[in-house]
Homo-oligomer: A and B are copies of this chain.
């Protein structure tokens, strides 16, 4: 059986600061403590460039901690909708994408 869910991906940088802490910590706190979404995983990119066209590579910028971070989670549409609303206050426009996925559920 498949359950329809939404996968959300959030683009950050290691250097991003939130209102009180590091932005990654604030995003994780929100997803984990408040919305308890499913399947949260953080991936570290090895190179990237953002809206300003500046390349951040592992070789040059490891010490500066500007590497791209991608936070992902997936859950049922109503849970995702609430989490996205809460994320809007933390993240700049254009940094969140999402798409529908099928989650495989085994019949017992």
The majority secondary structure among interface residues of chain A is strand
Residues of B near A100 (CB, < 8 A) are 99
Q: How large is the interface on A (under 10, 10 to 19, 20 to 34, 35 or more residues)?
A: 35 or more
A98 touches B97 (CB 8 A): no
Per assembly, the copies of the chain total 3
Partner of A74, one of B38, B48, B84, B97: B97
Residue of B nearest to A99 (CB): B101
Bound state CA distance, A60 and B93, in angstroms? 32
Residue of B nearest to A98 (CB): B102
Residues of B near A45 (CB, < 8 A) are 41-43
Residues of B near A102 (CB, < 8 A) are 97-99
